[in-house]
């Protein structure tokens, strides 16, 4: 198994905020021994201190993997703590948005296996999606280990090219915020039709949760699911006439939305 490497050599987690904590909880739930995990976190939470992992203590000399889970703006200060693992077969996995493989290679060297992973916030409830891309040094075993670690908080996909990471950031990375705003917009529209704010929000949240779970469990594609709930000449059809307008509907809006996010992702990587 991929995780056997961690049992043998240990692992290091740099940063244990919301995403780092979600990952750690997932790893421990999947059987990673707490004693094999070493966490570097300047402000450890009570939860972290109670997990039985090593916190801000001596690090293994050659861990199987070092996961970089600090914010992109903190990466410059944090990376030097990991340079002692460079040049060997320690796998570096970064979950920081906008930090390229080339930047990590400039610090750790191109001979170090490095993988970028882009998880999203539903990882906190085990429903995340993580896209992965590795440098030339990362082999099949490294990718399998990275997938096993990221699968602890949801599903994983492999990218063909690092340039795709900007689109992933725009879609799944930023996407939860789009859905949350849609809930807000649906609730506000329902208020305008006479529902109380509390009831409108309750119904909007439940509707999105239910539709998402139906899409998750169904083998049908999204277009088929939409058609299945649309009676000709009915209320849904009337609503979709507005929502699917070629000029003012949701599709052109989402194109502009994702384009803006992808453009900003490219800017931040400069």
Tens-place pLDDT, residues 158-192: 999 999 999 999 999 999 999 999 999 999 999 99
> What pLDDT, on the 0 to 100 scale, is given for residue 153?
93
Indicate the length of the chain as a whole number.
270
Residues 6+ apart with CB under 8 A from 9: 60, 62, 63, 64
Q: Which residue has the higher pLDDT, 71 or 149?
A: 149
> What pLDDT, on the 0 to 100 scale, is given for residue 43?
92
Q: What is the pLDDT of residues 63-74, one digit of tens each?
A: 999 999 988 777
Nearest-5° Cα angle at 165, 71 to 23: 45
Of 95, 196, 208, 214, nearest to 150 by C-alpha is 95
> What pLDDT, on the 0 to 100 scale, is given for residue 267?
87
Model confidence at 141, pLDDT cuts 50, 70, 90, reads very high
> What pLDDT, on the 0 to 100 scale, is given for residue 235?
97
> What pLDDT, on the 0 to 100 scale, is given for residue 71?
82
Quick one: what percent of the chain has pLDDT higher than 70?
A: 99
Model confidence at 50, pLDDT cuts 50, 70, 90, reads very high
**Domains parsed from the chain with CATH numbers:** 4-161 (3.40.50.720), 175-268 (1.10.3730.10)
Residue 1 has pLDDT above 70, yes or no: no
Of 84, 214, 92, nearest to 142 by C-alpha is 92
Model confidence at 80, pLDDT cuts 50, 70, 90, reads confident
* Average pLDDT value for residue range 203-219: 97
* Average pLDDT value for residue range 86-97: 92
> What pLDDT, on the 0 to 100 scale, is given for residue 72?
75
Q: What is the CA radius of gyration of the chain?
A: 21
> What pLDDT, on the 0 to 100 scale, is given for residue 222?
97
> What pLDDT, on the 0 to 100 scale, is given for residue 4?
83
Residue 3 has pLDDT above 90, yes or no: no
d(CA 205, CA 227): 22
Q: Is the dihedral of CA 18, 22, 23, 28 positive or negative?
A: positive
Residue 81 has pLDDT above 90, yes or no: no
> For helices 197-217 and 175-192, what crossing angle results, to 10°?
140
> What pLDDT, on the 0 to 100 scale, is given for residue 5?
86
d(CA 264, CA 167): 11
Residue 17 has pLDDT above 70, yes or no: yes
């Amino acid at each position: 198994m991929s995780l056997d490497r961690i049992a043998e050599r240990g692992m290091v987690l740099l940063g244990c905020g919301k995403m780092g904590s979600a990952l750690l909880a997932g790893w421990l739930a999947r059987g990673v021994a707490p004693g094999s995990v070493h966490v570097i976190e300047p402000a450890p939470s009570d939860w972290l201190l109670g997990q039985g992992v090593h916190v801000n203590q001596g690090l293994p000399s050659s861990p199987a993997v070092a996961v970089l889970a600090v914010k992109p703006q903190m990466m410059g200060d944090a990376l030097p703590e990991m340079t002692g693992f460079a040049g060997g077969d320690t796998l570096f996995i970064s979950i920081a948005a906008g930090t390229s493989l080339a930047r990590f290679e400039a610090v750790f060297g191109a001979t170090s296996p490095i993988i970028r992973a882009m998880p999203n916030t539903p990882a906190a409830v085990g429903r995340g999606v993580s896209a992965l891309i590795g440098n030339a040094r990362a082999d099949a075993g490294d990718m399998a280990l990275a997938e096993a670690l990221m699968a602890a908080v949801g599903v994983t996909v492999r990218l063909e090219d690092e340039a795709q990471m900007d689109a992933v950031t725009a879609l799944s990375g930023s996407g939860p915020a789009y859905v949350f705003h849609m809930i807000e917009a649906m609730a506000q529209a329902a208020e305008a039709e006479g529902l109380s704010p509390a009831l409108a929000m309750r119904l909007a949240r439940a509707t999105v949760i239910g539709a998402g779970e139906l899409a998750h469990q169904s083998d049908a594609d999204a277009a088929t699911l939409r058609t299945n709930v649309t009676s000709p000449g009915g209320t849904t059809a009337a609503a979709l006439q507005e929502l699917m307008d070629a000029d003012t509907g949701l599709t052109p809006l989402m194109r502009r939305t994702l384009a803006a996010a992808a453009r900003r992702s490219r800017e931040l990587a400069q």
